[in-house]
Amino acid sequence: MALYAIGDTHLSLGGSKPMDVFGGAWKGYVEKLEEGFAPVQPEDTVVLCGDLSWGMSLQESREDFALLSQLPGKKILLKGNHDYWWTTASKMERFFREEGFDNLEILHNNSYVYGEYALCGTRGWFFEEEMKGADQKVLNRELIRLETSLKAAGDRRILCFLHYPPCYQGYRCEPILQLLEQYGVERCYYGHLHGASHRLAIQGKQGAVDYRLISADYLNFKPEKIYD
């Protein structure tokens, strides 16, 4: 069983926001994604790090989930800033069951066991501007969700998956970075950065944590293998 990760698929099969309009790496991106999943086997696990579908509801995103479900491997989904379809875990899990998407699971206030590792994570948060009251509340909720997930790991070694980068050139989200260090996270995978923003990505060790960008357009729509 192998473990993979990729973020930011930005699917819109049932909607009107296909990313092909941006050209470049996004031209033909659905076909690229299908080809990129070719090495993945049914018994493998792929963590999908947010911004998965442009649908505004679960039903609007149904065709996107159908494609993700048809791709090989078990998929573990976490929330991105554009996942407006996201609702409660129970509603999402019920929807997936009813639609027969049995290989889609939710990473939210929990963790998953992968061998000796725990797979933990949440959306995260950006300090893009001076923090205001509402932003601070959102960050505080994300910190609670992240710590809940990290605590669920128990004594296992931890791999963490976020949508937002906790750090990049000129920016550090110290509360999230502190939690990653505190709980002994070995590696952190994140998405959100696209195009020219790729050059801002932090790759490699910062403190005790190894960081990796796994946005779909950065990976040319081929999930990154983490472990065999």
**All domains of the chain in start order, with CATH:** 3-227 (3.60.21.10)
Query: DSSP per residue over the chain, as a string?
Result: --EEEEB---B-TTSS--GGGG-GGGTTHHHHHHHHTTT--TT-EEEEES--B--SSTTTTHHHHHHHHHSSSEEEEE--TT-TT---HHHHHHHHHHHT-TTEEE-SS--EEETTEEEEEE------S---HHHHHHHHHHHHHHHHHHHTTTTSEEEEEESS-SEETTEE-HHHHHHHHHTTEEEEEE----GGGGGGB--EEETTEEEEE-BTTTTTT-PEEEE-
User: For the residues 124-148, what does the mean pLDDT come to?
Assistant: 80
pTM strictly above 0.75: yes
pLDDT tens digits, residue range 148-190? 999 999 999 999 999 999 998 888 899 999 999 999 999 999 9
- Per-residue pLDDT averaged across 206-226, rounded? 97
Mean pLDDT, residues 25-37:
94
Mean pLDDT, residues 62-73: 98
Percent of the chain with pLDDT over 90: 83
Residue 137 predicted with pLDDT over 90: no
User: According to the model, what pLDDT value does residue 147 have?
Assistant: 98
